[in-house]
Amino acid sequence: MVLFPTAVAPNKLTGARVVSLALLSFALSGAGAASGAEKDKDDPLAWVPPTHVQMIPMMVPVGNTTVPITFVLEAVKRKQTEGICKRMPLVRDAILTVLSREPIPVKGRKIVTKGVDVRILNPINEAVGHTFIKRIYITPGAVKMGTAKVKRKPYAVIAGCDNILRSEKARDQALKAAQDH
């Protein structure tokens, strides 16, 4: 006579197994997370601006030649990224003005970007008219839009101006539609 069975019959499902299978299937389907995420993705008013703006790679003076360089601008406040994007021609002009006077140095066929960010930060903020940018990250070479990474800030939210200004336009249209109703 056995009081405590050591194994469960393979054809019978116990209550614990049913519950665990139900939870597993719910988790794999993603029904709980997807419904809230889809609402936020489709709702332009729920959009949160990024913390960093990736500029389109630009040809800048380096040594005796020009080389493509990608700049990532860190905004002082998250809401100021739209202001940076609206003034991007001024930012690009300030960068080219500073680097035309004193190009980025080259040592042993390597681009030396150390100190360049500090050199161009104040002229950019002066050209824009406000202190929108608190730090600049420089990456030699052309980096595809939306794929830039900042080594010192691995969780930074980086976006290009196309996406930032597009989302601003969608939010304005959603606000107008909400006011009309």
The residue-averaged pLDDT of 23-39 equals: 48
Contact status, residue 42 vs residue 48, Cβ threshold 8 Å: no
| Cα–Cα distance, 31 to 37 (Å, whole number) | 10
136 bridge partner residues: 73
| Cα–Cα distance, 59 to 27 (Å, whole number) | 48
Residues 25-62 as b/e (b if ≥16 CB within 10 A, e otherwise) read eeeeeeeeeeeeeeeeeeebeebebbbbbbbebbebbb
| Cα–Cα distance, 134 to 53 (Å, whole number) | 12
Q: How many C-beta neighbours within 10 Å does residue 84 have?
A: 24
Question: For residue 173, is pLDDT > 50?
Answer: yes
> Which of 27-31, 46-50, 134-138: highest mean pLDDT?
134-138
pLDDT at 36: 43
